[in-house]
């Protein structure tokens, strides 16, 4: 489906960097939550975000506005981004603007049931091939049977 004529320009560099990060760190990608981090007893911090959350986290303009989890002291979560002036907006809104998506594209791209394979394919389609899915990113059901 072609993009509307009045659609903002997709930030190809930022979109590619996001997808490359998700590909290199699949353990940090969870499309079912905006952003969550867990502090381990040894001091390590494990962070997982959806594509929108990582768009915000990887940007220089915003960061995640972390909130403590009342039930789990070592867990923080958020669905909000914050800029340097302290202004908070929903992660999806900020990520949409940072990537140059339309509202519809953001809803499709940030849907919780998307796989990494699907995210690469959307990016390739919406950028008219300026972003290409790497061969190592395969559909989760396309593993050869042995």
Domain boundaries, the chain: 12-126
What pLDDT is stored for residue 18 in this prediction? 97
How many whole angstroms separate alpha carbon 139 and alpha carbon 20?
16
The position carrying tokens 């849907």 is 111
How many whole angstroms separate alpha carbon 129 and alpha carbon 10?
12
Q: What is the pTM of this model?
A: 0.87
Q: What is the CB neighbour count within 10 angstroms for residue 26?
A: 10
What pLDDT is stored for residue 143 in this prediction? 42
How many whole angstroms separate alpha carbon 60 and alpha carbon 76?
21
Which H or E run includes 15? helix 12-24
pLDDT < 50 stretches in the chain: 141-146
What pLDDT is stored for residue 1 in this prediction? 62
Which distant-in-sequence residues (6+ apart) come within 8 Å of 40 by Cβ?
A: 46, 74
Judged on CB neighbours under 10 Å (0-12, 13-18, 19+), 81 is buried
What pLDDT is stored for residue 144 in this prediction? 40
CB 108 within 8 Å of CB 92 = no
């Amino acid at each position: 489906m072609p993009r509307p004529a009045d659609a903002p320009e997709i930030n190809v560099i930022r979109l590619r960097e996001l997808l490359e990060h998700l590909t290199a760190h699949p353990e940090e990608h969870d499309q079912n939550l905006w952003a969550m981090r867990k502090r381990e007893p040894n001091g390590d911090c494990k962070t997982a975000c959806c594509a929108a959350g990582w768009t915000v986290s990887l940007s220089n303009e915003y960061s995640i506005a972390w909130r403590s989890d009342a039930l789990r002291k070592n867990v923080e979560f958020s669905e909000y981004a914050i800029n340097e002036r302290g202004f908070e907006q929903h992660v999806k809104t900020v990520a949409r603007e940072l990537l140059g998506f339309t509202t519809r594209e953001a809803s499709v791209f940030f849907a919780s049931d998307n796989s990494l394979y699907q995210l690469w394919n959307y990016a390739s389609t919406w950028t008219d091939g300026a972003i290409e899915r790497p061969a190592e990113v395969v559909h989760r059901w396309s593993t050869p049977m042995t």
